[in-house]
Structure 1
Amino acid sequence: MDIELLQAQVGLWNLTYGYLKTMSLKCALDLGIPDAIFNNGQPMTLSQLHSVLSLPPSKKSHLYRLMRLLAHIGFFIEKNASACSEPVYDLTAQSRLVIEKNDSANMLPYVCCSLDDKWLKSSLYIGDWFMQDSKQNPFELANGCTLWEIVNREPVVKKKFNDAMVSSSCLFNDYIVRYGDDIFKGIESLVDVGGGKGAMAEVIANNFPHVRCTVLDLPHVVCDNPNDGIVKFVSGDMFNYVPPANAVLLKWILHDWSNEDCIRILRRCKDAIPSREAGGKVIVLEAVVGLTSPMISEEPQLLFDMLMLMVTEGEERDENVWKYLFTEAGFSSYKIVCTIGFSSIIEVYP
C-alpha cells in the first residue's frame, strides 16, 4: 500500500478519534488526578495513584491506559516505564494549569466549564445548523435557549460561567501588568466593559494606583459585588451606554458578537472617551487570527472560532476585519501593541 495512503489513513483516524483526547482530559479532571499528584509532593507510581484515587481493583490496568494516552499528548510525564518497573507519573506545565490550589494560574474553572455537557452536546449539532436556514446557533439547537438565557436563569451555570471568566484572565493579568506602564500611561480612569467580577480591573487598580477602575456589566452579574473596594461596579447594558472614562477595556467581549453588534458596542465606547489628543483610547484584548506569539500555533484561534460559531453570533477575526470594525465605528487608527499567546492587545484611537 502507498505510504501516502497509509499516512492519510492515520491522519483520518486522528481526526476521527481526536475527541477522545478531550474526553480523557475530562476523565482526569473528574477523577482529580492532577491534584492527587500535586498533593503527593512528588511523582507517583501507578499503584500509588490507583490507591489515592480509591478506584476499584479491576480498574488499575485501565488507569494505566488512560495515563499512557495523557502522557503521550503531553498532559502528564511518564517516567521509568519498563518491563521490570511501574510507570511513575509527574505533572507538566499543562496539568499544573488545572491544579485547584494554583492561585496564580488556575484554569480549572474555565476548562471544566468548557467541558460541560451543554457545550459538548452543542458540537453534535453543527452539521444540522449548517443545513438549516435558522438564526439559532448550534448551542440553541441543542439546549433550546441561548447561552446567556441559561446563565441568567440557572444559578449553578451562572456561577460556573462567571468563575470560568475569572479563570480565563489569570495569565492575561500578568501580561497586562508587564506592558501596563505604556498602556496606562496618562490614564486616570478606565471602564472594563463586561468585566464580570472585576478580576482584571482589580489587578490594574492594584498595580497602577493612578487608574480609577470601573466595571460595567449586566445587573445579574454585578448585583452581588461590593462597591466599597478599589473597583467600582456599574450596572448597565454596553449596547446602550458606557460610563465616561479616559480609556475603555474590552477583554474577550467582541468575539461573542456579530460585526454589526461589535460596531454598536465600539461606538458606545467611543462616546465614552475623550479625543486622542486628550489621551482617549479603547483597549481591545482579542485574537487576531494569523498573529500569534513565537512558537504558538494558529490552531487554537481556529478552534476558538468554531466555538464562537457554535455558541454565539461572534467569531475570531483577522486584522482586516478588525480594521473594518474600528473604521465603521468611527475610530481614526489602531495599533497592535503586543501578542500574548494567541491573543493580542490592540489600542484603538478616536
Structure 2
Amino acid sequence: MASNNGLKASEMFEGQVHLYKHLHAHAVDGMSIRWMIELGIPDIIHNHDQPITLSELVSILQIPPTKVRGVHSLLRYLAHNGFLQIVRVHHNTQEKEAYALTAASQLLVKGTNLSLTPMVEYLINPSGSPVWSHLKKWTYEDDLTLCDVSLGSNIWDFLGKNTEKNKLFNKAMASDSQMMNVALRGCNWVFEGVESIVDVGGGNGTTAKAISDAFPNVKCTVLDRPQVVENLLGTNHLKYVGGDMFKSIPKADAILLKWILHNWSDMDCKKILENCKEAISGKGKRGKIIVIETVINEGQDEHGITSLKLLMDVKMSCLVNGKERSEEEWKKLFVEAGFQSYKISPLTGYLSLIQIYP
C-alpha cells in the first residue's frame, strides 16, 4: 500500500527510524560520553582489573536507588555504541552481566599517555552547544564563520581572549598529539636526512618532543601564537618561537603542518604553504613539507571513516571557513603554492601523511 507521496508504509517507517535515531542522539551521544568521564567510570573499570557488575559500580559511585535504572540504561546504550563491552561473569555463585572497557573507552582512562579525555572535555561542552543553533543565520551571512555569528569573533581571537577555553583547547590538541606520536613511531623514513624541523602550530610541543626524543640529532622548533608558547621552556634540541605563520616561518629542513591546513581556506593555505616553501629554501638540499590531514576518499574508505571525514568537513567549513580535502583538492593547492610533487601515505584510521616537495 503506497502513501500519497509515493512511499510504501514500510519505507516511511524506516525513514522515521533513521530520523528519530539522529534527532534523539543529538544531545545524548556526546553528553553520555562526558557523563562517563565525569563519574570516572572508565577509571573505575580500569582499576577494578576485571569487568564490573552494575551492583558493584553502583556501590562504588554511591548512586541513589532511584537512579539505578537510568544508569543501567546509559551503560547499555554506551555498550551498544561501542564504548563498553557487556560480558557474563560469575559473581557470588551467580552468573551476572558485567561491563568491560573497549578500545574507545580505554582512551578515556585519565592519567594515561594516550588519554583523550581532554578532547572530550573540550568538544563536549554544554557552553558550546548554542554555537550550532545559529546555523540558519550563518547560512546568509556572507563570509562570516559560525563562530563570528555566534561568538562575535573568529575562533582564534575568541580563544585568545578566554583563558580557560584556550587551556581546554591546548590540552585537547596535546592529547591528540599523543595519539599522533604513536603513529609517527613507525615513520622513521619520514625523518631520514632531516636535521631540523619546525612544527607550525605545535602548541605545547607534544609532537616536537616526541620527534626530538626519537631523533636526537633533529633540532625541533615549535612555532605558535605568542600567548601559547610564552611560558614554555625548551631544551638544547627543542625551542619555542612565538609568531605568525602567515608572516614568516623559521628556516628548517622540514616543516610539519599537523591538523593546520584544514582550519583555513584555499587562499590562506596557499599563503601558509608559500611561507613553508620559503622556510625550506636555501638549505643546500631538498627540503620538504610534512602535512598530516584527512584525505576524503568516499570511493575507497569504509563508511564509518567517510562519515568522520565528512563530519569534520562540516565543522571546519562552518566554524572556521576551512575544509577537509580530497586528493584532487590537495593536489590543486600544492601546485598553486609552487610545489612540484607530493606523496600520500596512510597514517592513522582517518589521517594521512602527505610529503610535498618544492
The one-character-per-residue Cα deviations of 1:129-150 (angstroms, maximum 9, x if unpaired) are: 11x2333322332223322122
Q: TM-score, length-normalised on structure 2?
A: 0.91
Paired residues for 1:271-290 under 5 Å: 271-274=278-281, 278-290=285-297
Q: 2:86 aligned to 78, 82, 90, which one?
A: 78
Cross-structure match for 2:131: 122
Paired residues for 1:1-350 under 5 Å: 2-19=9-26, 20-80=28-88, 86-103=96-113, 105-130=114-139, 132-180=140-188, 182-274=189-281, 278-290=285-297, 297-350=305-358
The one-letter amino acid paired with 1:119 is G
Give 1:276 deviation, angstroms.
9.8
1:317–1:118 CA distance, 2 compared to 1 (3 A) = farther
Verify the 8 A CA contact 1:96 1:102 in the aligned structure 2: no
1:231–1:294 CA distance, 2 compared to 1 (3 A) = farther
Aligned-partner Cα distance in 2 for 1:281–1:100: 36
Aligned-partner Cα distance in 2 for 1:5–1:296: 25
The one-letter amino acid paired with 2:203 is G
**SS class of match (2:207):** helix
**SS class of match (1:209):** coil
Q: TM-score, length-normalised on structure 1?
A: 0.93
Give 1:2 deviation, angstroms.
3.9
The one-letter amino acid paired with 2:100 is D
**SS class of match (1:80):** strand
The one-letter amino acid paired with 2:119 is Y
The one-letter amino acid paired with 1:10 is V
**SS class of match (1:282):** strand
The one-character-per-residue Cα deviations of 1:292-319 (angstroms, maximum 9, x if unpaired) are: 7779621110111111123212111111
Give 1:23 deviation, angstroms.
2.3
**SS class of match (1:55):** coil
Give 1:196 deviation, angstroms.
0.8
Aligned-partner Cα distance in 2 for 1:51–1:150: 42
Aligned-partner Cα distance in 2 for 1:140–1:295: 32
Give 1:337 deviation, angstroms.
2.7
Between 111-120 and 89-98, report the one with greater CA deviation: 111-120
Aligned-partner Cα distance in 1 for 2:305–2:165: 31
Aligned-partner Cα distance in 2 for 1:133–1:113: 26
1:296–1:172 CA distance, 2 compared to 1 (3 A) = farther
The one-letter amino acid paired with 1:326 is F
**SS class of match (1:124):** helix
Give 1:282 deviation, angstroms.
0.3
Give 1:248 deviation, angstroms.
0.4
**SS class of match (1:125):** helix
Give 1:80 deviation, angstroms.
3.1
The one-letter amino acid paired with 2:221 is T
Verify the 8 A CA contact 1:305 1:316 in the aligned structure 2: yes
Verify the 8 A CA contact 1:119 1:139 in the aligned structure 2: no
The count of residues paired between Structure 1 and Structure 2 equals 346
The one-character-per-residue Cα deviations of 1:223-276 (angstroms, maximum 9, x if unpaired) are: 011033531111110000000101100000010111110000000000000379
The one-letter amino acid paired with 1:336 is I
Aligned-partner Cα distance in 2 for 1:117–1:134: 27
Verify the 8 A CA contact 2:183 2:347 in the aligned structure 1: no
Give 1:329 deviation, angstroms.
0.8
Verify the 8 A CA contact 1:118 1:143 in the aligned structure 2: no
Give 1:89 deviation, angstroms.
1.0
Aligned-partner Cα distance in 1 for 2:316–2:46: 33
Instruction: Please tell me the root mean square deviation across aligned C-alpha atoms, in Å.
Output: 2.2
Aligned-partner Cα distance in 1 for 2:171–2:264: 21
Aligned-partner Cα distance in 1 for 2:202–2:219: 14
Verify the 8 A CA contact 1:122 1:310 in the aligned structure 2: no
